[in-house]
């Protein structure tokens, strides 16, 4: 009996495939990483996941969990592995409107969660461009961020409970809906962001929030990033912290969007270097109230602050969405980043986090230094400005590995000098292993290795990821 036959006995012949039948799992959506798995198994229950893990462990087979495969770091790339797709673990088990939670399987698509809770006037606030294909198991495994981190936090902050299958097949039940649980080590947080190297997430209890009763969404041009942060702080003060998204798009990104997206429009009549998308969500009746002018109070607050900053010349231009179609157009511009960035061609991607007051300096200093390597190179920058997360991509005719490595180290140098992190929300996977070796505290790496050895002594779970 082959390994594929044995695994088919667990999940059914139809759900244990290889070769051409496994084509959907042979590469990530970016096309940067391609593999030929030994077999792809698609369990439908936690019990089946448990049996698969136990079999792989007993037979020393590499086992790689995979969700929507929308990652950017090669975290599911492992040649000749058993790939465990969670796509059939996609049941929405319960929506607790009183407790504000939803219980879902790891294969549930993010957008499906949004749609399920919307009729209850609730939201699951995690959102990013791949929400239509990304699954919650993958988002948890990478501790995904997205555009609403500013108000609601990362995926880790949105998860109350987990069910996890360990390397040897044992099922760890952490399925609590508690907001506080201080009963020992926080194993839930250990599993979130581990990229499937410590266990396989199968189910989760997620936090829900009240759906905002009104939105104020705008594109704003400012002279500098510092001026943009002034807008953020003023709006936070005026609304009690209701700013949900505060997204920076540089001129390079706007130009790329215009070039790559048919029918794309300039955000303003003139071209600016610093372009901000701000969205504020009103949850109180007062801020959502419609005034005699026909607009909501939350929009009036945004207009007033923008008006003051225009007079101070801290804002150069602003366009406030007047309807849902205009709001969606603003969001579409920002959420196209992943697809248009890759469509442009070879690039050097980085995903960094820096202190808020250093964002402007980081962008300028990185550009100055990579221009020393190639004066003709250019970049695009999009950033979750409210939390200091910068997505930076460098494009050059020099596509050599040497140039790419030098660019990455240049970014690393700037980040380290200002107290930042080389990995903000995309995870480590394969692409940041060299950086982990160079920049991660060696004692922290040793502790991570000890944890990996303790939970996966045979090293069967997604080996070669996260830890150099």
- Nearest one of 279, 272, 278, 277 to 223, comparing CA atoms: 272
* Cα 30–Cα 137–Cα 434 angle in degrees, nearest 5: 50
DSSP reduced 3-state for 213: coil
**Per mean pLDDT, which range of 308-317, 334-343, 435-444 is the poorest?**
334-343
Cα-Cα-Cα-Cα dihedral sign, residues 421, 426, 432, 436: positive
Residue 188: predicted pLDDT: 97
Residues for the chain: how many in total? 468
| pLDDT band for position 27 (cuts 50, 70, 90) | confident
Distance CA 346, CA 348 (A): 7
Residue 330 contacts by C-beta under 8 Å, 6 or more apart in sequence?
Answer: 217, 218, 219, 267, 277, 321
pLDDT digits (tens, 9 = 90+) for 311-333: 999 999 999 999 999 999 999 99
Token pair for 51: 């049996």
Q: How many CB atoms lie within 10 A of CB 23?
A: 10
For 13, 51, 141, 198, 272, the CA distances from 163, given in Å and listed in that order, are 26, 15, 12, 13, 48
Burial of residue 290 (CB within 10 Å: 0-12, 13-18, 19+) is: exposed
The yes-or-no verdict on residue 381 having pLDDT over 90 is yes
**Is the pLDDT confidence value at 152 over 90?**
yes
Task: State the residue for tokens 């667990």.
Answer: 10
**Which pLDDT value is given to residue 1?**
82
Any idea which of 21-30, 36-45, 182-191, 358-367 has the lowest mean pLDDT?
A: 21-30
pLDDT score of 31: 81
| Mean per-residue pLDDT, 426-436 | 93
72 has a pLDDT exceeding 90: no
Q: What's the average model confidence in pLDDT over 335-358?
A: 93
Rounded distance between C-alpha atoms, residue 323 and residue 312, angstroms: 28
Nearest-angstrom CA–CA distance, 360 and 363: 5
**Cα 83 to Cα 38: distance, rounded to the nearest angstrom:** 8
Q: Identify the structural domains of the chain with CATH numbers, from first to last.
A: 3-85 (3.30.43.10), 92-210 (3.30.465.10), 214-335 (3.30.70.2190), 345-425 (3.30.70.2740)
pLDDT in the model for residue 285: 93
Residue 2, pLDDT > 90, answer yes
Residue 212: is its pLDDT beyond 90? yes
Whether the predicted pLDDT of 466 surpasses 90:
yes
Alpha carbons 462 and 142: distance in angstroms, whole number: 13
Over residues 305-314, mean pLDDT: 96
DSSP structure class, residue 73? S
Q: Report the alpha-carbon distance of residue 171 to residue 3 in Å, rounded.
A: 22
* pLDDT tier, 293 (very low <50, low <70, confident <90, very high otherwise): confident
Return the exposure string of 376-407: e unless at least 16 CB atoms fall within 10 Å of the residue's CB, then b. Answer: ebebbbbbbbbbbbbbbbbbbeeeeeebbebb
Burial class (CB in 10 A: 0-12, 13-18, 19+), 278: buried
Judge whether residue 155 has pLDDT over 90: yes
Please report which confidence band the pLDDT of residue 462 belongs to, taking 50, 70 and 90 as the band edges.
Answer: very high
């Amino acid at each position: 009996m082959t390994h594929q036959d044995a695994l088919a006995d667990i999940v059914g012949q139809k759900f244990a495939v290889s070769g051409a039948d496994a084509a959907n799992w042979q590469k990530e959506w970016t096309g940067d990483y391609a593999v030929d798995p030994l077999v792809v198994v698609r369990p439908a229950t936690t019990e089946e996941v448990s049996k698969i893990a136990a079999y792989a462990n007993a037979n020393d087979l590499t086992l790689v969990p995979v969700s929507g495969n929308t990652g950017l770091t090669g975290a599911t790339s492992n040649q000749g592995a058993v790939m465990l797709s969670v796509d059939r673990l996609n049941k929405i088990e319960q929506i607790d409107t009183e407790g504000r939670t939803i219980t879902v399987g790891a294969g549930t698509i993010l957008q499906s969660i949004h749609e399920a809770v919307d009729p209850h006037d609730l939201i699951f606030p995690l959102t990013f461009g791949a929400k239509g294909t990304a699954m919650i198991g993958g988002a948890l495994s990478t501790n995904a961020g997205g555009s609403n981190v500013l108000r609601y936090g990362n995926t880790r902050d949105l998860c109350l409970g987990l069910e996890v299958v360990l390397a040897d097949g044992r099922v760890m039940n952490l399925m609590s809906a508690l907001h506080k649980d201080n009963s020992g080590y926080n194993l839930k947080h250990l599993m979130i962001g581990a990229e499937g190297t410590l266990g396989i997430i199968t189910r989760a209890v997620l936090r829900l929030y009240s759906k905002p009763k009104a939105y104020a969404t705008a594109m704003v041009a400012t002279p500098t990033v510092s001026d943009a942060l002034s807008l953020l702080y003023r709006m936070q003060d005026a609304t009690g912290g209701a700013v949900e998204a505060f997204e920076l798009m540089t001129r390079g990104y706007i130009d790329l969007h215009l070039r790559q997206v048919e029918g794309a429009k300039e955000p303003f009549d003139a071209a600016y270097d610093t372009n901000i998308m701000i969205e504020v969500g009103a949850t109180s009746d007062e801020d959502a109230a419609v005034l005699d002018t026909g607009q909501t109070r939350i929009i009036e607050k945004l207009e007033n602050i923008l008006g003051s900053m225009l007079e101070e010349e801290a804002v150069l231009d602003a366009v406030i969405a007047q309807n849902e179609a205009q709001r969606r157009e603003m969001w579409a511009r920002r959420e196209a980043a992943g697809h248009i960035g890759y469509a442009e061609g070879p690039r050097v991607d980085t995903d960094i986090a820096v202190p808020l007051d250093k964002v402007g300096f980081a962008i300028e200093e990185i550009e100055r230094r990579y221009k020393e390597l190639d004066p003709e190179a250019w970049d695009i920058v999009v950033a979750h400005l409210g939390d200091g997360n910068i997505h930076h991509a460098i494009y050059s005719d020099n596509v050599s590995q040497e140039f790419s490595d030098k660019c990455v180290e240049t970014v690393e140098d700037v980040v380290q000098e200002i107290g930042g992190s080389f990995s903000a929300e995309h995870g480590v996977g394969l692409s940041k292993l060299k950086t982990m070796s160079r920049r991660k505290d060696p004692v922290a790496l040793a502790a991570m290795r000890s944890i990996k050895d303790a939970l996966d002594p045979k090293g069967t779970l997604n080996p070669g990821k996260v830890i150099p």
